[in-house]
Amino acid sequence: MHVLDLDYMLGLLPILLGYLPLTLEMAGAGMVAALVLACLLAVVRVQRMPGLNALAMLFISFFRGTPLLVQLFLFYYGLPQILTFLVAINGITATILGLTLHFSAYMAESIRAAIVGVDRSQTEAALSIGMTQGQLMRRIVLPQATRVATPTLMNYFIDMIKATSLAFTLGVTELMGATQKEAAGSFLYFEAFLLAAIIYWVVVEILSWLQRRLEKRLNRAYQR
Amino acid sequence: MIALNGITKRFGEHTVFENIDLTLEQGEIIVVIGPSGTGKSTLLRCINYLETPDAGRLTVGNLSLDAKHATRREILALRRRTAFVFQNYALFANKTALDNICEGMIVVDGLSKAEAHARGREILERIGLADKANAYPASLSGGQQQRVGIGRAMAAKAEVILFDEPTSALDPEWVDEVLALMKHLALERQTMIVVSHEMQFAREVADRVVFMDEGRIIEQGPPGELFTNPQDERTQRFLRKVLANNPI
């Protein structure tokens, strides 16, 4: 047993932090795209749009029902064999695509529940003054649903940041991939992965702090 | 002028009402009374197209539509000419009192935010809530919320305001302030149809009282006549029951 090599960890810190931006970029892009897709899916589900509703249910069922790692391999290694124009797809794009589709399926269901949870009489009130479905969704229902869905969506975002580590299996050198390479060179696996774990942890803690502030702000209108 | 001709509403097999005719002149105040479950609220909701009538014609001002085959555009036009006050207020929980009132002016009527706010503050003044402009519904009392609900309807500048049991959900202590505001509107000859169990209000304010039972308009007339000399046996029975509890 050796003592924790703190000097090595301190030296490794700036190297690993250099890969953090890529991790956050993949999660950020995935989150924005997943939110947009999830909102569309949720509206299709809430309005029970004929045809589209069944498609949305199939989509959600598949992407919730299969492991993210399987989906990533399917997009990166599998799809280019069928759709040859995808041969050039790189690991980063495949990861963002996988995260988007996978997490949008989960997020769609939370958003749908939040939309359905908005008091029906407010919808009627909006209609009664002549607002269209689109206007009442945008201005009355979605803002309130956002408040309800925010804690869950933030949890998915946190999950997504951690899930970017799977990109390493597609040959992307992000935080996890970089740690693996460094550790393989130094044989100090414990120090390297402990440091990686701490970096993920700190990022998530910062986000949790932001989440609490955001929720406080969103709840302002509902204080008695 | 507002006219309902042959308005019919069914829920599945159950016919709520059939062939209802009702006409109002501009500035007329009608109070609809009757036992619970006789379709009063459903009728009111049909006028605002919150319920889709199964047959009949709706006429509000210069708009006349076949109720069953109304187009999306006609429905929106109808809703702009009719405003609705809900039993449970139904204020937008994410908007302040002022924004609740201004929402329709900005989104539906296309007023600028500044114009809408100026008019919104005037309305807040009239409903006695000028100091609550920035309060959210959750922080208002039931009576205050319902006054904002009425303010929102006033902002629509509709030809008729439809009140669906506006005081039924209120604690007794808040009923008077809401009725007072409605009386105030009545004095300004705001056309309105009020579904209510407030007989005193009906007697004081209504130009005409309409008695509905089992999906039919049984009889109607000026409150002085209908309350003192009801013709139909069902009206007599209903009034005896109600007035025994709350003499006017």
Give residue A86's pLDDT.
Answer: 67
Give residue A224's pLDDT.
Answer: 65
**Chain B interface includes A224 (CB < 8 A):** yes
Separation between Cα atoms, residue B207 and residue B188, nearest integer Å: 13
Q: For the ranges A45-49, A101-105, B44-48, which has the lowest average pLDDT?
A: A45-49
Separation between Cα atoms, residue B97 and residue B115, nearest integer Å: 16
Percent of chain B with pLDDT over 70: 99
- CB contact (8 A) between residue A128 and residue B84: yes
With contact defined as beta carbons under 8 Å apart, do B178 and B170 qualify? yes
User: In the predicted model, what is the mean pLDDT of residues A11-27?
Assistant: 91
Is the predicted pLDDT of residue B96 greater than 90, yes or no? yes
User: In the predicted model, what is the mean pLDDT of residues A153-179?
Assistant: 92
Mean pLDDT of chain A: 90
Give residue A1's pLDDT.
Answer: 59
Separation between Cα atoms, residue B28 and residue B147, nearest integer Å: 21
Separation between Cα atoms, residue B221 and residue B216, nearest integer Å: 15
Is the predicted pLDDT of residue A2 greater than 80, yes or no? no
Q: Which is more confidently placed, A105 or B243? A: A105
**Closest chain B CA to residue A224:** B139
CA B236 to chain centre: 25
Q: pLDDT grade, residue B164 (50/70/90)? A: very high
- CB contact (8 A) between residue B92 and residue A222: no
DSSP structural state of residue A9 = H
Contacts of B65 (CB under 8 A, 6+ apart): B57, B58, B59, B74, B78
**Chain B interface includes A124 (CB < 8 A):** yes
Q: For the ranges A87-91, A119-123, B216-220, which has the lowest average pLDDT?
A: A87-91
Provide the shortest C-alpha distance from residue B80 to chain A (in Å): 5
Separation between Cα atoms, residue B137 and residue B141, nearest integer Å: 8
Q: pLDDT grade, residue B248 (50/70/90)? A: low
Give residue B23's pLDDT.
Answer: 95
User: In the predicted model, what is the mean pLDDT of residues B190-212?
Assistant: 94
User: In the predicted model, what is the mean pLDDT of residues B161-182?
Assistant: 93
Q: Note the pLDDT tens digit of each residue in B21-59.
A: 999 999 999 999 999 889 999 999 999 999 999 999 999
Q: For the ranges A177-191, B30-44, B172-186, which has the lowest average pLDDT?
A: A177-191
Taking the domain A6-218, which CATH number applies? 1.10.3720.10
Contacts of B37 (CB under 8 A, 6+ apart): none
Give helix then strand counts, H and E, for chain B: 9, 10
**Chain A interface includes B208 (CB < 8 A):** no
Q: Which two tokens stand for residue B131?
A: 């100091």
Domain spans in chain A, listed from the N-terminal domain onward: 6-218
Among A78, A70, A153, smallest CA distance to A112 is for: A153
- CB contact (8 A) between residue A129 and residue B90: no
Contacts of B21 (CB under 8 A, 6+ apart): B3, B4, B5, B6, B7, B217
- CB contact (8 A) between residue B86 and residue A129: no
Give residue B175's pLDDT.
Answer: 93
Is the predicted pLDDT of residue A56 greater than 70, yes or no? yes
Q: Which pTM does this prediction carry?
A: 0.81
Is the predicted pLDDT of residue A165 greater than 70, yes or no? yes
Among A201, A188, A103, A91, smallest CA distance to A153 is for: A103
Mean pLDDT of chain B: 93
Separation between Cα atoms, residue A153 and residue A163, nearest integer Å: 15
With contact defined as beta carbons under 8 Å apart, do B207 and B218 qualify? no
Is the predicted pLDDT of residue A103 greater than 70, yes or no? yes
